[in-house]
Amino acid sequence: MMATIKQISELSGVSRGTVDRVLNGRGHVSPEKERLVRSIAEQVGYTPNRAGKALAARKKSYSICVLLASEGNPFFSEVIRGVREAERELHDYGVKVVLRTLKGYDVSAQVSAMEELGKDASALILNPINDPAVAEKINALSDRGVQVYTVNTDIGDCRRLCYVGSDYFEGGRIACGMLGLLTGGVANVGILTGSVHILGHKQRIDGFLDVMYSKYPRFRFLSIMETEDDDMIGFESTRKMLTDFPEIDTIFLAAAGVYGACRAVQSFLPGRKLHIVSFDHIPQTGELMQAGLIHATICQQPFAQGYEAVKLAFNSLMSGAPPQEQQYIVKNEIRILENL
Amino acid sequence: MMATIKQISELSGVSRGTVDRVLNGRGHVSPEKERLVRSIAEQVGYTPNRAGKALAARKKSYSICVLLASEGNPFFSEVIRGVREAERELHDYGVKVVLRTLKGYDVSAQVSAMEELGKDASALILNPINDPAVAEKINALSDRGVQVYTVNTDIGDCRRLCYVGSDYFEGGRIACGMLGLLTGGVANVGILTGSVHILGHKQRIDGFLDVMYSKYPRFRFLSIMETEDDDMIGFESTRKMLTDFPEIDTIFLAAAGVYGACRAVQSFLPGRKLHIVSFDHIPQTGELMQAGLIHATICQQPFAQGYEAVKLAFNSLMSGAPPQEQQYIVKNEIRILENL
DNA sequence: TTGTATGCGTTATCAT
DNA sequence: ATGATAACGCATACAA
């Protein structure tokens, strides 16, 4: 049976209150008693009991705020499901979860939403725009005692406690590995990314090229274009790419705009069998795979991203200590038609 | 803020004890009060608080026993890690986890270990041998009030509460889907299974053939042999298969014995590039992939199997109600060299 | 049948 | 600085 504060107090002959003060570093304890209690706690291997903690913490009622850009992106509906599931589980512990979504990627909108939510939040979870103003606001909130976590995308040069999301570089490596297997190692490759300026997208390209250059000498990289994460632009970019490089037989879809790109392939190269690998699972992914356009897609566990981010924040609030790791990396999952 | 028993008792003007009796169906309550309490509880949407429950339950100290066959199977080391992790998390709730491993698949050994562990267990988790004697013992324990769960492999015709493990049929389907992609849909296929008598192995074959017959008309299924989950036997079976059917260019490794089979391919068809898909992640999987022998392997989340089985048993013990679902199915994960 | 009291482990408050 | 005590939500032994 686990050691408790009560047992420690009995063993050391001091009151429970004093043991609590020592173990939680609240001060106002004489050095001798402090040493005594610490040594006894050490001996019996004391670990705080989560159920007791939770019960006592109910009076305080933490609030965890989640700020997600953007609305209308189907990827995030799964993230939100994860947030909700974590909320459900944490309900017992008196934790309030506040979700706020934003449309589009507007820096000032994000910053002001952060300010507003930060007013009364114990922790803030967001997918930050990679902009100095956002980093600055993160630091400001952190100084005010709000624990900040990033989810899905990270941001540098700031005091966020932990990033919860995928390893984009690895995702790109996997995409290339899959295309290597699908093509037998011989391919004329076109890449469609969201934006070369978005860090995650760039990292996927880097990962892809890393494997390509080291493992697939017979891959020829012909063209890269942007979709701006938009189906219409994706369609147009793909059309242009296929016109400029008709020999392309392999496409790496590193970001959103997947449906538009696939429609372009279907329209301008009907009957031609390209090899296509995409990212994430959008509503059209199933039919595109069924149609044999996309052969594999790589998912980044959106549900787990939302779920784990909230739980990480909660655990950190409960224990008083920040997370052990600076990153919580979710898996990149390879999906084909049979396990979509 | 969540409603509590105390609040319900105040709202309905009865004592906390009576509310408890109603909500937990302990009887000895007058019909009027019962109705009253139920309606109020309904209105406020009462849900028992897990932390409070856990704290109160500490006096009882449940014990969850885990019985795993077999020793020396690297697959199960991850399952055990999952069990240990769950144990760590549940330590706070006064739950004791007892792990017992067995060597090999001996029915009478398993049955007698079940009997022994069942003596003082609130729940028993095991990977059952598919034998009537085991099913019978499961029922006997169930009658004695021990909740029984199956993990990794299931068994029919008995009162186990829930199966935690993978969908073998789906795993087989995925394997065929991957080989379809790798081969471009044209292949001469040989299958190596563990034993045609082991349910999971058979289901994988069925899943494989399901996809093959419906989707890959140009797959030719030439031969199936057994490895008995053993590398030496796998080597020999593969050798014989490749001798009898030299045109085989694609191999589906549905069970253990993977290393032996691959060594046989390497020895007898040096330089030939076969397409091979296997299951699980054994210590040699990495090097076999590196060598280009195995192209993909399908994993069944062994850690999650151990972890979730224990947590399921715990939740069920805590809530007093059996699990909602009869099955907790973990994902089949496609792994290639880049995400192994 | 119904109500009351106590304890689980932790934390906060109030005395001393 | 230290100790005693109540409270969190639930379960239960005991009293009425």
Model confidence over B70-107: pLDDT tens digits? Answer: 787 888 999 999 999 999 988 888 889 999 999 888 89
Q: Tell me the nearest-neighbour CA distance from B93 into chain A, angstroms.
A: 7
Summarize pLDDT for A298-307 with one digit per residue, the tens: 999 999 999 9
pLDDT of A271 reads 81
Q: Looking at per-residue confidence, does B94 or B263 come out higher?
A: B263
Would the CB atoms of A181 and B211 count as touching at under 8 Å?
Answer: no
Pick out the nucleotide with least CA–C1' distance to A28.
D1
CA end-to-end distance (rounded Å), chain A: 45
Main-chain phi, psi angles of B163, to 5 degrees: -105, 130
Which amino acid is it at A311? K
The yes-or-no verdict on residue A195 having pLDDT over 70 is yes
pLDDT of A104 reads 80
Summarize pLDDT for A16-39 with one digit per residue, the tens: 999 999 999 998 999 999 999 999
Task: Confirm if B250 and B188 have CB atoms less than 8 A apart.
Answer: yes
Burial of A312 (0-12, 13-18, 19+ CB in 10 A): buried
Distance of CA A333 to the CA centre of its chain: 14
pLDDT confidence band for A321 (50 / 70 / 90): confident
The yes-or-no verdict on residue A333 having pLDDT over 90 is yes
Task: Confirm if B101 and B125 have CB atoms less than 8 A apart.
Answer: no
Fold of A168-299: Rossmann fold (3.40.50)
Q: Gap from A79 CA to C12 C1', in Å? A: 37
- Residue B69's alpha-carbon distances to B61, B77, B103, B111, B204, in angstroms, are 26, 11, 6, 12, 21
| Apex B165 CA angle, B214 and B324, nearest 5 | 105
Task: Confirm if A56 and A129 have CB atoms less than 8 A apart.
Answer: no
pTM given for the model = 0.92
Summarize pLDDT for A85-107 with one digit per residue, the tens: 999 988 888 889 999 999 888 89
pLDDT (mean) for B6-13 = 92
Task: Confirm if A150 and A164 have CB atoms less than 8 A apart.
Answer: yes
CA distance A141 to A138: 5
pLDDT of A1 reads 66
Average pLDDT, chain A: 94
For A295, the closest of B61, B181, B335 (CB atoms) is: B181
CA distance A258 to A335: 15
**Closest residue in B to A298 (Cα–Cα):** B334
Task: Confirm if A175 and A203 have CB atoms less than 8 A apart.
Answer: no
pLDDT (mean) for B260-286 = 94
SS3 A98: strand
Q: Looking at per-residue confidence, does A319 or B14 come out higher?
A: B14
Q: Where are the alpha helices (DSSP H) in chain A?
A: 5-12, 16-23, 31-44, 50-57, 74-90, 107-118, 132-143, 168-183, 199-215, 231-244, 258-268, 285-290, 302-319
pLDDT (mean) for A266-280 = 92
pLDDT confidence band for B320 (50 / 70 / 90): confident
Q: CATH homologous superfamily of domain A5-166+301-331?
A: Response regulator (3.40.50.2300)
- Where does chain A hold its CATH 3.40.50.2300 domain(s)? 5-166+301-331, 168-299
Edge-first strand order for the sheet with A275-279 is A219-226, A187-193, A250-253, A275-279, A296-299, A333-335, B333-335, B296-299, B275-279, B250-253, B187-193, B219-226
SS3 B210: helix
Would the CB atoms of A92 and B176 count as touching at under 8 Å?
Answer: no
Which amino acid is it at B167? D
CB half-sphere exposure, B170, CA atoms < 13 A: 17
